[in-house]
Amino acid sequence: YGSLIRRLSISRATKAQRIRSVQRLFVCLVETNQLLVNPATSLQSPSTSGLPRSILTVAEVKRLMAQPNTSLWDGIRDRALLELMYSTGLRLGEALSLTVYDLDLTTRLLSIRSGKGGKGRVVPLGKEATKWLREYLKKIRPKKNRLHPHERTLFLSYCGTPLRLYTWQALIQRYVKAAKIKKKVTCHSLRHTCATHLLEAGADLLAIKELLGHAHIATTMLYLH
């Protein structure tokens, strides 16, 4: 089936979508005990532009995290957001939609209420992410929040308004350049890097699926291919 799809005169994204549909079908058949073995496990999907091609190494992640100047207010905010995204694998939209009510630093848990497809989930926070979020919430956010006291979005701009997507995308590129990382890195690269590093460290595939908020395990398998 895979070779047949690849010969069709359709876009790579459409080919990948059709193969994913077949993969999900067989996953469902196995999960409902209608099949003992999934025959689509070796079915490979063509890469699409929707998935980042650059995976950072652990050393590159450390260099990236060290770039924000944490002697400045925005450096602490940016370090907290970088650590959060790498620790949890959040999508950029999910991270920037967080409110102060979604965070529990005592239990080190984060609630995502605006997940893809309207699905929420709860994910654990790493130690570094917790440390810098606590620093940001204690020293920085209260000062910025005075400008707009009713604003509950977690990450704020200089003016006390929600941090914008395009602003953070530009900041990421600045930090990547400062870290002398030659790869093409986007905000989504941190999500992909988080999942890949967890898998390499021996994390369970189902746990990674839940962390990323995927509806089907086949999506996670494709994502980590």
Beta strands 103-104 and 121-124: pairing type? unpaired
d(CA 83, CA 132): 8
Centre a 10 Å sphere on the Cβ of residue 19 and count the other Cβ atoms it contains: 21
Which two tokens mark 99? 């409110």
Phi, psi of 153 (to 5 degrees): -60, 140
Enzyme catalytic residues: 91, 116, 188, 191, 214, 223
Laid out side by side, the sheet with 121-124 consists of 103-104, 109-112, 121-124
Smallest CA-to-CA distance from 95 within 117, 115, 120 is with 115
Centre a 10 Å sphere on the Cβ of residue 142 and count the other Cβ atoms it contains: 10
CA atoms within 13 A on the CB side of 186: 11
In the chain, the DSSP E strands lie at: 103-104, 109-112, 121-124
